[in-house]
Amino acid sequence: MNRVLASLLMGTMLMGVSSVSVKAQQAITINGVEAERVIIAPPKNDLARSIKSGLSNAYATATKGSRAYQDAQKIYYFYGARSFEPLWLSQNDSGTIVFSDSALKILDIFEQSYLEGLRPADYLTSEISLSGNFTDPERLATLETAFSAAAVRYAQHAMGGRINPRRVSSEFYQTPNRIDGGEFLLNLANSDAPDQMLRELSPTHSQFLALKATLATRYQGEVQKIITVPSGALLKPGMSDERVPVLRERLGLNITEQSTSYDDELVAAVEEFQKNAGLLVDGVIGPATVTALNGVYASKEDLIANMERWRWMPRDLGDFHVFVNIPEYRLRVMSGEEVTHTTRVVVGKRQFMTPVFSDEIEHVVVNPFWNVPASITRAEIGPALTKNPGYLAANNMELISGGRVVNASSVDWSTNSINNFRVRQRPGRNNALGTIKFLFPNAHAIYLHDTPSKSLFSRTQRAYSHGCVRVQNPMDFAGALLANDANMSKSTLQSQFGPSERWNNLSTKVPVHLAYFTLRIEDDGSIRSFGDVYGHNERLKNLLDS
């Protein structure tokens, strides 16, 4: 039984140990000195006495001072505060030990947990069984505490996921929601609808619900039939191709005759599809467009991995927020469920991964300096300076030492290290940050910004930065971002263009989420899949399967 107790206590300690002991302790004052009195209420029936006996045995046989002793003590106090009444067991009129009505409802939730992207085997453990010798007090205590452990485990998995994000990558800086184990157990046991309590712990984000619905169809064996467009040579407007009738059917256009002409009507439909799919809108049927038209068959494992990552997200994204999906290379400004603005972005290279975290946009900086990160200064600028002392001047950069600008050509680089200096790029057309940046101060030095490298936005795969997020249409984004700001607008920012850096503070901070989802369920139920640019999805699938 010690293993079960440890499992339960580990969960409650991670989620709020104090609630376990506080229920069994009472603050008192003796001669002016504050102390705590342990409350152990006497059992009121045979079943409670059996539970007490089993827990007492685990407590008494553990080595004093050991982890097992501390765990046994805490769980003894927990049940002692409630007269050792079981949460999940009861005794019928004939004296047979049975599961309580609450326990039966929870068992049903455990059995159906696969529909939530969870694993029934994590909760329906071998200890949760009514078979065996129930004249043995320790067996009863084991069953009771095993059920409590399973309920806490399910609650935590439903609310915050099965996997710690940091196990996937050190670039995940999310803190999943945690429950208070002791208080939760009591509320669950006292609820008339414990099954509903458990169901309500899962996320309610629209994408999570859409993934969940799609997962259910997978378990039902339903797969949406997709009209498949064959691959072939590039098809441009005005050309003819035998695939045209299939294209028209796929895009919902009438097929009045078996014409193979790629006409204006079909081109317009293809361009609208490319726009909605986040592709380059050129009307050309190439490999990327054919792949998007044919859709994807998302495996159960991919659906579950994306559901897991939604469990790591803040429950409240903000009524008005910015959402950047790294694998999709896309930014959205959201007002409720409405997308008020969307644009392409460039994210970090694989060796400079854009981290996953949430924050709040506080400042908009026009004509920004680019304070070059130390890692870039060390790896790229230092070697360039040793070869060409005029490198900084040629790139509109400054060398800073002690807060003052230093002439790089006057520095003897054979005896000085670039690590002793800072480098920044002055505002200008070729500034790496372009004309504007959007700051949400964070420990990762990550922000959204403009860029002079506009050509990268035309590429399908857009992982080229050192970690920050480059925005394709920064001024349009600024206009959407400031839609609710009474003191600032797109035109206000444009009037500040010039040689000097200008800082602007948002009147209301706007939540921003840098997220990592490889699947997106569209309103019509179709699935869009994005490349696993950093391999996070594959690693998570392996962890979930272990």
- Cα angle, residue 229 at apex, residues 300 and 521 outer, rounded to 5°: 35
Distance CA 514, CA 171 (A): 11
Distance CA 57, CA 80 (A): 14
Query: Which residues, in sequence order, are CB contacts of 467 under 8 Å at separation 6+?
Result: 348, 352, 353, 354, 355, 444, 445, 446
- Cα angle, residue 211 at apex, residues 316 and 524 outer, rounded to 5°: 105
Query: Which residues, in sequence order, are CB contacts of 498 under 8 Å at separation 6+?
Result: 367
Distance CA 109, CA 28 (A): 41
Residue 211, judged by CB atoms within 10 A of its CB (0-12, 13-18, 19+), counts as: buried
Cβ–Cβ < 8 Å for 490, 478: yes
Is 449 assigned a catalytic role?
yes
- Choose the catalytic residue: 341, 468, 513, 536: 468
- Choose the catalytic residue: 157, 321, 449, 513: 449
CA 478, 481, 484, 485 dihedral sign is negative
- H/E run at residue 351: none
Q: What does DSSP say about strands 338-348 and 463-465: parallel, antiparallel, or unpaired?
A: parallel
- Is 407 in a helix, a strand, or coil? coil
The stretches of 277-361 forming alpha helices (DSSP H) are 287-294, 300-312
Residues classed as catalytic: 449, 468
